[in-house]
Amino acid sequence: MGKEYTCFIVDDEDLIIQRLELFFSELSHRDRRFVLVGKANNGLNGIEEIIKLKPDIVISDIVMPRMDGISMIEQLKVELPHTQYILLTAYSSFEYAQRAIQANVLEYIVKVPLREADLNRALDKAAGILNEFEKRSRISFVKRIRT
């Protein structure tokens, strides 16, 4: 079956959360790699839950009350450097795009309309990167044992 990647959603819009939950439940029939482990409706709750659950992939909205998605990611990166972050946005503003790039965000997806193809591509890309991290840490682990 291969490796499982845990995913977490942060969005303040119930409709988007429902849409993503549906996306993951349909995805699980085709591709068992991605498992949704939790959700939060703002950045502050998101940080708390994500630090607890340590998901592989976080899909987050940018504009949310109490803490925006990019600020949340900037804080999480310190604790979880290998987690991959996918941003959803209703705004394709340059300023957000710039901040997202600086925060080292993997993908930036416009959520109106939210296209499943974009999500699939972003998840695949995240899995590829996580897989590389794992290979590298296995190699350095083996090297440490041998030396």
What tokens appear for 84 in the block? 């991959």
For the chain, the structural domain boundaries read 5-146
Q: What is the pLDDT of residues 113-147, one digit of tens each?
A: 889 999 999 999 999 999 998 888 877 766 777 66
pLDDT average, residue stretch 17-42: 94
What pLDDT score was predicted for residue 147?
60
pLDDT average, residue stretch 25-46: 94
What tokens appear for 95 in the block? 């300023």
Contact predicate 88/39, CB 8 Å: no
Exposed / middle / buried, residue 116 (Cβ in 10 Å: 0-12, 13-18, 19+): exposed
Tell me how far apart the alpha carbons of residues 16 and 14 are, in angstroms, rounded to a whole number. Answer: 5
Tell me how far apart the alpha carbons of residues 13 and 64 are, in angstroms, rounded to a whole number. Answer: 9
Q: What is the pLDDT of residues 41-57, one digit of tens each?
A: 999 999 999 999 999 99
**70-95 burial by CB neighbour count: b if 16+ within 10 A, else e?**
bbbbebbeeebeebbbbbbbeeeeee
Contact predicate 76/47, CB 8 Å: yes
**Short-list 128, 48, 52, CA closest to 84:** 128
pTM of the predicted model, to two decimals? 0.88
The angle formed by the CA atoms of residues 98, 100 and 101, to the nearest 5 degrees, is 65
Contact predicate 107/87, CB 8 Å: yes
Tell me yes or no: is domain 5-146 CATH 3.40.50.2300: yes
Q: For the chain, what is the mean pLDDT?
A: 89
Contact predicate 100/108, CB 8 Å: yes
